[in-house]
Amino acid sequence: MENPAPRPLEVERKALATGKWANLFMAIAGLVTAWASRSDAMLVDGLYSAVNFVSAMAATRIGARVGLPPTRARPWGRDFDEVLYVTFRSLILIGVLVFAAYVSGAKIWTFFSGGSVPELVFGPIAVYAVVIVAICLGLAANYHRAYRKAGKRSTILKTEARAALIDGALSLGSGAALLSLPFLEGTVLGPYVPIGDAVIVLVLILAIIWQPLAAFRETLADLAGVSAPGNTYAKVARSARDLARENRFRFRRAAVLQAGRMHFAAVYIDPERPVTANDVDLFRDTLAARLEDRVGPTRVEIILTTNDLLKSS
C-alpha cells in the first residue's frame, strides 16, 4: 500500500522547523564572528539570520491557521495573517538594513574625522563565509522543494526561500569582499582598508533592500483590497460564468481578492427564476471546488442581484 501524499501544511511545517534551527545557528555564528573579526558586515549578516529565525517561529504558527473555518471573532478566517506576516517581516528587514547603514556610515564618519577604527581580523570571516553559504543554499533548496510539494501556493515558503538565497548572497558577497581587502595594502586604496567592511555593507544594502521593499509593496496591495491579478480574475469569472450557465442563472460580475495563498471571490448572479437557499449553497460549494483546482483555495460568497454596474476606479 502506497503512503499517502503529505499534506501541504505538514510539508510547510517541517520546512519551517528546519529553517528555524538553521537560522538560529547562523545568527549566533554571525554575531560571534562579528565580535571576533570586528566587522560590521558580519554583524549585519548575523542580524539578518536572527530576523529569519524569529520569522520562522511566527511563520509556523501562522501557516497552521491559514485556511481554518471562520469564527465569530474572525468572520473571514485567518487568511490575512499570512499577508500581515510578510508585511511586518519586510518592515523588520528594512529596519535591520537601515540600522546597518547607520552603523557603517558612523564608522566611515569616524575614520574621516580622525577617530580610531578597529582593525579587522580576517581568520574567522573565511570559515564563517564557507559554512554559512553552504547552509543557505541547502535551506533555499529545502524551502523550494517544500513550496513545490505544497502546490506552489504558500507565500510563506516562497518568502523564506527568497530570504535564504539573499542571506547566502549576503554572506558570500561580504565574505569575498572582506577577504580581498588585505590585497589592497600597498595600493592607493590601502589607507582606506580599515573602513572597507563599512563600504561593503553599504553596497550590499543597496543591492538587497529592493527585495523587502518589493515584498512590502505587494502585500500592501493585498491589505488594501486591490483586485487579484488579471489572470486569476479571468479564471474565476470564467468558472462562475460557466457554472451559472449550467444552472440557467445569469452571471453579472465577480470581485476577486488575494491574501497570500487564499483567494476571496464575490460572485454576483441573477437567478431569473425562483431558487431556494439550498440551490445557492450548492452553487457556491460547486464553484469553490472548481476554483480549488484552477486558482487555489478560494472562499466564495454568492450575491443575488440584478445590478452589474462596477465603477472602474
What ranges do the domains of the chain cover? Answer: 8-223, 230-304
CA distance 29 to 45: 9
Rounded to 5 degrees, φ, ψ at 267 are: -110, 125
Rounded to 5 degrees, φ, ψ at 255 are: -125, 125
**H or E stretch including 255?**
strand 250-259
For the ranges 53-67, 104-118, 154-168, 230-244, the lowest mean pLDDT is seen at 53-67
The predicted model gives 226-239 an average pLDDT of 88
The predicted model gives 220-226 an average pLDDT of 74
Of the pLDDT bands very low, low, confident and very high (cuts 50, 70, 90), residue 3 is very low
Of the pLDDT bands very low, low, confident and very high (cuts 50, 70, 90), residue 313 is very low
Cell of 210: 529592493
> Could you give the C-alpha distances from 20 to 15, 44, 139, 208, in angstroms and in order?
9, 18, 10, 22
DSSP helix/strand/coil, 41: helix
CA distance 207 to 193: 21
Residue type present at position 65 = R
> Is 90 exceeded by the pLDDT of residue 267?
yes
Average pLDDT, the chain: 82
Of the pLDDT bands very low, low, confident and very high (cuts 50, 70, 90), residue 302 is very high
Q: Which fold has domain 230-304?
A: GMP Synthetase; Chain A, domain 3 (3.30.300)
The predicted model gives 172-179 an average pLDDT of 79
CB 122 within 8 A of CB 18: no
Class of domain 8-223: mainly alpha
**H or E stretch including 302?**
strand 298-304
CB 18 within 8 A of CB 52: no
CA distance 287 to 142: 34
> Is 70 exceeded by the pLDDT of residue 5?
no
DSSP annotation of 307:
-
Of the pLDDT bands very low, low, confident and very high (cuts 50, 70, 90), residue 45 is confident
Cell of 111: 575614520
| pLDDT at residue 66 in the model | 67
pTM as predicted: 0.68
CA distance 177 to 154: 35
The predicted model gives 261-274 an average pLDDT of 89
Q: Are strands 262-270 and 298-304 parallel, antiparallel or unpaired?
A: parallel
| pLDDT at residue 63 in the model | 67
